[in-house]
């Protein structure tokens, strides 16, 4: 195997083996418990919508707007992938964000950097589920 093939397989193993569901639950639990107001609002939403635990199912949980914004924010603060998800440019090259990238070049975006960048999010290091509850401003 070539070095590039070994590197590619190692990358897939790290990403696929990172237990994304467990990581997502860990991040969401951590940020929810660290912010008592978020926990209180999420708890109130569940208790308001569901009268008993038997009313909770996969379809009805879609109608929990606050919990859904909390999950979105937890995924932003605690991304599931430990690195980029690389893609290769076409053999003839690509124009990405106005810049020509030659052919057969691996490109990717580091999720943590993107999700914590001030150009992408206001106050990026603050856990704020409300940022997902309003439409984004026009750019």
* Residue 7, domain member (yes or no): no
Give the CA count within 13 Å in the CB-facing half-sphere of 92: 1
Task: List CB contacts of 111: < 8 A, sequence separation 6 or more.
Answer: 79, 80, 81, 84, 85
pLDDT at 17: 60
Neighbours of 104 (CB within 10 A): 11
Report how far residue 29's alpha carbon sits from residue 26's, in angstroms, rounded to the nearest whole number: 5
* Residue 4, domain member (yes or no): no
Residues of the chain with pLDDT below 70 are 15-18, 82, 135-139
Domain count, the chain: 1
* Residue 41, domain member (yes or no): yes
Neighbours of 109 (CB within 10 A): 12
Query: What pLDDT digit, counting tens, does each position of 30-62 carry?
Result: 999 999 999 999 999 999 999 999 999 989 999
* Residue 13, domain member (yes or no): no
Can you give the residue range of the structural domain that contains 90? Answer: 19-132
């Amino acid at each position: 195997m070539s070095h590039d093939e070994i590197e590619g397989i190692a990358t897939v193993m790290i990403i696929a083996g990172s237990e994304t569901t467990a990581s997502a639950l860990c991040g969401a639990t951590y940020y929810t418990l660290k912010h008592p107001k978020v926990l209180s609002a999420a708890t109130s939403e569940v208790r308001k919508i569901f009268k008993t635990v038997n009313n909770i199912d996969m379809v009805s949980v879609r109608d929990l707007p606050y919990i859904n914004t909390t999950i979105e924010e937890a995924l932003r603060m605690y991304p599931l992938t430990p690195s980029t998800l690389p893609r290769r440019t076409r053999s003839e090259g690509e124009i990405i964000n106005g810049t020509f990238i030659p052919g057969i070049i691996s490109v990717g975006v580091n999720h943590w950097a993107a999700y914590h960048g001030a150009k992408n999010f206001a106050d990026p290091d603050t856990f704020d589920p409300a940022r997902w509850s309003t439409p984004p401003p026009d750019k």
